Structure 1
Amino acid sequence: MTDVQYNTGVASFFVLYILLEVPSQYFLKKIGPKYYLSGLLFGCGVVMASGAAIQSPIGFIMMRLALGATESGLMPGFNASIAKYYTRDELSVRIAIFFASASISGAFSGLLAFGLAKLGGVAGLESWRWIWLLEGSFTAFVGVIAPFVFVDTPENAGSWLTHEEKRYLVLRQRYGAGSGGVARSEAFTMNLLVDLAKNWQTYPMILIYISHSVLGYAISFSLPPLMKTLGYSNEKAYLIPVPIFLAACVLTILNSWWSDRRESRFLHIAGPFSLAIVGVALTIPTAGQKDLVGLSILGLICLTFAAYLAVPISISWMAANTVEPHRSV
């Protein structure tokens, strides 16, 4: 593939990912998170594993489109499900614990890629095909077992919650701190999009989310290649980011826990964004200078932390100030 073909494939993921996120919430409500999210997870694994068989740039682009379609409902679906159980002053750290899996996966995908790369040539398959096949198969397996361990909404939680416990969870959501005692409408119509489009507060939140998402995707797509430009071998380029991602996981949870304790959001987003500015200031002047590799890595560490720390805060900020079904959309 040329650089343009590769970048087109990478970007094509987001076409269906963006278009299907809101409709996916409709099916989440109709089917229920236990089976719907498990099905999406299984679909992600099947698509990824099937990607090991692609033979052309068109195949790569089609695989990325399909992956965007299957993954579109996962992040908003999981967050909406978490928000069913916790009040606004409990939400951020719970979303952070879930989202920390992203930074953990960033760490372990590097370790797995390092190990699986050694399978190159086995059964006539290149190393990248083994990475996609095995990681995709594992994801599909998790999707199969997920319905047996996934916790559904309080209303559909089954026998593990008593009727009184289910009622308590619903009422604490309705009358908890800051809720104002607003009863939630269960209707889900496309008019919700019109309502949200009229709400000016939606747009600053979108801008915040775009800002840390640009950082997050830039880091996840390019951290190992960036390490190679600093003069490290393929193996070290995969291994050096591992402790960085693990540290980002811990700091993300701590930042969200502190945010919940302070009942504050803004400073816990502004802080990581300021760290991003420091990261850019360190990486751009030192790019390509072999004697300043340490400063370059320090800048990349700052950017990685900034990419992850603000995400649960921005999600919970919006979720804490809207009621269903607007929250899901």
Structure 2
Amino acid sequence: MESSTYILSKSNEKPKVEYIETIERVETVEDRRHRNTTFLSEGLKVSTNKPTAEYEGRHRYDPDLQWAVAEEKKLVRRLDKKVCTWVCAAFFCLLLDRSNTSQALADNLLDDLRMNTNDYNLGSTIFNVVFLVAEIPMQLCAKRFGPDRWLPFQMVAWSLVASCQAFLKNRTGYLICRALLGLAEAGFIPENVLYLSYFYTGSEMAFRIACFWVSFQVSQVMSALMAFGIFHMGGVLGLEGWRWLFGLEGALTGIIGVIALFFYPQSPTQPSLYARARGPKAWFNEHEEKILVNRVLRDDPGKGGMHNREGITLRMIGKCLADWHMLPLYILSLTWTVPFIPMYFYQTLTLRAIGFTTFQTALMSIPGATLVGIQMFLWTWISKKSKQTLLLGVGCQLWAIPFLTSFLVVNFQDRPWVKYALIVLLVGYPNLIPIMVSLVSRNAGSIRTRAIASALFNMGIHAASVLGVNIYRNDDKPLYKRGNKILLGIVFFNIGMFIFTKVLYQRENNRRDKVWNSMTGEQKINYLETTSDEGNRRLDFRFDS
């Protein structure tokens, strides 16, 4: 197919007065390469680019299909409404039930349960450890039973545990609930990332994941507003305000989880239960399904390698773990968010300690959450336009240096509003999590490795939380000078790691370019037909960096 190919819209009927003959641009191989397609072998007639017989969209596969760019954009917007909206709603509920613990601190949760800061740290550590242990098993369950079934089930499960926190009596009950929440929520984020990859191309994923994560910031804002109102219920039926907060927000999640079961579609060719009940007009027609399937496969043929409810074997897990190309990203997942974690978790306690009231503290978390949400969209847009990811990570780390340094050398006890402004700027940092998660998903190279790679990266993020929440300790209060020195050291390590990873991927891409470009068309086809290389090991695969 040549890059000059066009199609002319026609009608079998006699043209009416208002009919306007139009020419629509057909997207070509060269267009998709310019769009930073993951694999360079599109257009080569090789069996390795064909989906397997088990792939759920195999009946819509058509390597010769052509479509207009405008038509595809319209379908993507419809996908956003039918798929991305529900993923964002689910993530909103996840973070609503996570952030309410931080809000409850402002209403004397620790004192009521006869706990201290170290007990709170222990609860966070238990949550994250259980979460880490259960992450891959839960991801495997989602892959086996299908995200459209498993994700709503998880939402209902953790809503029950979250609601039960309203009846906490002591430290032991608190720690048990944190463990159960870690189990119920494990795998939820990488499951949604894998689920989105069924519908979107690699270049589209970052923005959708940005929407996904901005819903997290929206949940923080809503959690603060809800906490402000619900805390005024303190004393109703003899219950503290934080008990009402846990009970009501947990119930809300459960209701949304039940509704989500009917609205999650299984794949581009398998509509949701609600769409099936409404009939064909509620979903895509055959031609539209063909576009949705083939545009994803042409971007990444590996997505046709298995059914979306096909389980992952131990051998597949072993292959993923042995993929050294992904190791730098796993290392970064352990460290790059750490400089911002302590203040995020401790901002409510810090604000109370410098003189702000419970209700002021509940509302004062809103500006930081709003700022980080704005920054997510801004830096995702910058990444798309500049085609840069890892260098932006350097900028993210540089952002933390002036604020951590000021906390280290200045005593803000008599200047609470100055410290508050610095806290807002630190917790409202350039959060690149949508870019990083999309990078991991794209560089994994296949559905098999993507499922495990996304889980491993998310495990690293939560392991970073375990590290982060334990950096500020009781014996380091109130300035946490030792803790801030540690955070500055981690910042400089992260800067070096981002640069190293960028150089590593560029060198590997250059090496492959040299080999691939020296091959004739027949040699390329022969390589793809006979090679045992899979996913990101193939010579036609290019790492995003």
Is the TM-score greater than 0.5? yes
Distance (whole Å) between structure 2 residues aligned to residue 79 and residue 216 of structure 1: 23
CA contact (8 A) 2:221 2:366 kept: yes
Instruction: Map 1:230-309; keep pairs closer than 5 Å.
Output: 230-291=354-415, 293-294=417-418, 296-306=419-429, 309=431
The match for 1:22 is: 136
Q: 1:45-194, aligned counterparts within 5 Å?
A: 45-157=159-271, 159=280, 160-176=283-299, 179=300, 181-182=301-302, 184-186=304-306, 188-194=312-318
| Contact 1:25/1:76 (8 A) holds in 2 | yes
CA contact (8 A) 1:209 1:311 kept: no
- The residue number in structure 1 matching 2:534 is none
Are 2:123 and 2:174, in contact at CA under 8 Å, matched by a contact in 1? yes
Q: Which residue identity is paired with 1:310? A: L
TM-score, normalisation: structure 2: 0.56
Match of 2:62 in 1: none
- Matched residue type, 2:305: S
Distance change >3 Å, CA 199–CA 211, structure 1 → 2: same
Question: What's 1:319 paired with?
Answer: 441
Contact 2:296 2:303 in 1 (8 A): no
Give the SS at the match of 2:415: helix
Q: Which residue of 1 aligns with 2:463?
A: none
State the one-letter code of the partner of 1:185.
G
Q: Number of matched residues?
A: 324
> Quick check: 1:279–1:301 contact (8 Å CA) kept in 2?
no
Displacement of 1:261 after TM fit? 2.7
Is the contact made by 2:202 and 2:442 (CA closer than 8 Å) also made in structure 1? yes
Q: CA distance change for structure 1 residues 212 and 151 in 2, over 3 Å: closer, same or farther?
A: farther
Q: CA deviation at 1:313?
A: 0.9
Does the aligned pair in 2 maintain the 1:184–1:325 contact within 8 Å?
no
Greater displacement, 163-172 / 230-239: 163-172
135-144 or 145-154: bigger deviation: 145-154
The residue identity in structure 1 corresponding to 2:441 is: A
Aligned alpha-carbon RMSD (Å): 2.1
Relative to structure 2, which stretch is displaced further, 192-201 or 151-160? Answer: 151-160
Q: Tell me the amino acid that sits aligned with residue 153 of structure 1.
A: S
Worse-matched range after superposition: 73-82 or 219-228: 219-228
| CA shift digits 1:116-169 (9 cap, x unpaired) | 111111111111111100111111111111122333322433551334433433
More helix by share: 1
Q: Identify if the C-alpha distance between structure 1 residues 216 and 86 changes in structure 2 by more than 3 Å, giving closer, same or farther.
A: farther
Which letter maps to 2:284? L
The CA distance in 1 between the partners of 2:130 and 2:388, in whole Å, is 34
Query: How far off is 1:72 after superposition?
Result: 0.8
Moved over 4 A (4+): 181-184
Letter in 2 for 1:196: C
Corresponding residue for residue 333 of structure 2: 209
Given the alignment of the two structures, is residue 310 of structure 1 paired with residue 432 of structure 2, yes or no? Answer: yes
Q: Distance in 1 between matches of 2:141 and 2:192?
A: 13
SS of the counterpart of 1:154? coil
Choose the corresponding residue for 1:41, options 151, 155, 167: 155
Conserved? CA contact 2:326–2:443, under 8 Å: no
Offset at 1:58? 1.3
Which digits, 9 at most, give the CA deviation of each residue in 1:247-288, with x for residues without a partner? 211221121122123322112322222112232123332344
Take 2:197 and 2:302, find their aligned partners in 1: how far apart are those partners? Answer: 15
Q: CA separation of 1:305/1:13 partners in 2, compared to 1, >3 Å: closer, same or farther? A: same
Distance change >3 Å, CA 283–CA 83, structure 1 → 2: farther
TM-score w.r.t. length of structure 1: 0.90
Q: In structure 1, what is the Cα distance between the partners aligned to 2:175 and 2:317?
A: 30
Pair 1:243–1:151, CA change in 2 (3 A) = farther
**Structure 1: stretches of 5+ with no match in the other structure:** none
Q: Distance in 2 between matches of 1:237 and 1:284?
A: 23
Match of 2:432, as an amino acid? A
Matched, 1:3 2:117: yes
Q: C-alpha displacement at 1:319, in angstroms?
A: 0.7
Structure 1 residue 35: deviation in Å? 1.9
Alpha carbons of 1:89 and 1:263: their partners in 2 closer, same or farther (altered >3 Å)?
A: farther
CA contact (8 A) 2:340 2:400 kept: no
Aligned counterparts of 2:249 and 2:303: Cα–Cα separation in 1: 43
Contact 2:156 2:258 in 1 (8 A): yes
1:216 and 1:170 map into 2 onto residues whose CA distance is 40
- In the alignment, the residues of structure 2 paired with residue 216 and residue 109 of structure 1 have an alpha-carbon distance, to the nearest angstrom, of 20
| 1:204-233, Cα deviation, whole Å (9 max, x unpaired) | 212322334435643442221122233222
Whole-angstrom CA distance in 2 between matches of 1:183 and 1:28: 16
Indicate the percent of aligned positions where both proteins have the same amino acid: 25
